[in-house]
Structure 1
Amino acid sequence: MAGASSAAFPATAGSVTLAERPDRIVSLAPTATEMLFAIGAGPQVVAVDDQSTYPAEAPRTELSGFKPNAEAIAAQNPDLVVVSDDLDKIIDQLGKLRIPVLFAPAAKVLDDSYRQIGELGTLTGHRDEASALVERMRTQIDKIVKGVPARSGSLSYYYEIDQTLYSATSRTFIGSILGMFALTNVADAADPDGAKNGYPQLSAEALIAADPDLIFLADSKCCGQSPATVKARKGWSAITAVREDRIVALDDDIASRWGPRVVDLVQAVADAVAKVPA
Structure 2
Amino acid sequence: MRYGLIVLLALCFAATGNCQPVYFRHYQVEDGLPNNTVFSVFQDSRGFMWFGTKEGLCRFDGSAFRAFNMPKGDREFVYCVAEGIHHTLWTGTRKGLYEFDPRTETFTARAAAQQGEVLDVIAGRQGKVWFTANLKLHCYDERSQTTRGYQSNISAIGQGQDSSIWASSINGYLFRYNAASDSFHCVNRGQPALAGTVNRIYCTPSGGVLVGTIRGFSFLIRLPAIIGRYWASRYRRNRCTCETSCTTVPTNTGSRANRAFIASTWKMEQ
TM-score w.r.t. the length of structure 2 is 0.27
TM-score w.r.t. the length of structure 1 is 0.27
Larger strand share, 1 or 2: 2
User: Greater CA radius of gyration, 1 or 2?
Assistant: 1
Larger helix share, 1 or 2: 1
